Structure 1
Amino acid sequence: MKIKNILTVVLFLATLSFYAQSDKIDEKREKVKAFKVSFLTTELELTSTEAEKFWPIYNAYDDKQFELRHDKMKTYLRKLDDDNLNSLSEKEAVVLLSQIESTDKELYLLREKFMSNLKKVLPAKKILKLKKSEDDFNRKLLKQYRDKAGKN
């Protein structure tokens, strides 16, 4: 598995753990989302015209990605718990694996469509900057999570 895929899985699991620690998932998600918007706005230096076109595309993508990762993957991860995994029949394991692969494919196609839509409203250099900024944001969020967890 590539390091990028491993990092994505780690970030996903960290994000999932971050959200699972509280009954106020929506509230925490909104705080993270606001922090992310602020961070990306600063990093990307979008013109008002670019911002007007960028944010609806980005928000639709981000919401759908969250839905896929949080709702579907959360269900899969529960089934992958050691106790549940050991009690799965081979047929159930095949079905679960197929569902995971299908969700991975949906995420890939979503990202591909997102990139295609971005190319219509942003120059390539800003799209690359977005990718770097998202990675930086995720590292910063993970660091905050670790720092907070270390204090408890």
Structure 2
Amino acid sequence: MNFKKLFPILLLFVSFNFYAQGEKMKEKKEQIKALKVAFLTTELDLTANEAEKFWPIYNTFDDKQFELRHQKMKTFMRKMNDGSLDKMTEKEANTFLTQMESTEEELFLLRKKFMQNLKGIFPAVKIIKLRKAEEDFNRKLLQQYRNKGPKR
């Protein structure tokens, strides 16, 4: 078989593989989100009225937060992995640092706005419980990941 006939077939297999990996990641993300919803609902003991107001606000916040963190990590990892970090000038490093600070500030302002929105739904104690529940969920998720990871 000549290469001109083999190349499109190979490309097709590679694209299916990338698509399958993308779908698997999307599926995992949805699975984690469902677990988080169940965990937070239980931990916060949400009433139907509270849940109706809370989840749209929380989901918007969570999606924006994820996007910001993902964007930040992608940029950071690209710099770390392509070797440009060692070749960076002081000026480039300062620019990169400013970008990192800007992202952190954006995350802070996003959380602050989210907290303000929650004050119209929950008493302060429940907002604090939400923060604790989020931390507990993340800790639990990380622990499960560590336990299922490759054994050393």
Give the TM-score band, short-chain normalised. Answer: 0.7 to 0.9
Q: Compare CA radii of gyration and give the structure with the larger one.
A: 2
Which aligned runs of 4 or more in structure 1 are off by greater than 6 angstroms? none
Alignment match, 2:39: 39
Q: Tell me how far 1:151 sits from its aligned partner.
A: 4.3
**TM value normalised by structure 1:** 0.80
Write out per-residue CA displacement over residues 46-102 of structure 1, whole angstroms, 9 at most, x where no aligned residue: 111100000011000000000000123321232134833102122221111111000
TM-score by length of 2: 0.80
C-alpha distance in 2 between matches for 1:82 and 1:103: 21
Preserved CA contact (<8 Å) 1:68 1:103:
yes
Counterpart amino acid of 1:27?
E
Would you say 1:107 and 2:107 are equivalent positions?
A: yes
* Aligned AA (1:66): F
The amino acid that maps onto 1:34 is A
Identical aligned residues as a percent: 63
Q: How does 1:1-152 map to 2 (within 5 A)?
A: 23=22, 24-81=24-81, 83-151=83-151
Structure 2 unaligned residues grouped into runs of 5+: 1-20
Gaps of 5+ in 1: 1-21
Q: Give me the whole-angstrom Cα distance separating, in 2, the residues matched to 1:77 and 1:148.
A: 24
Task: Give CA deviations for 1:21-62 in whole Å, capped at 9, x if unaligned.
Answer: x64322221111111001101111111110000001100000
Q: How many residues align?
A: 131
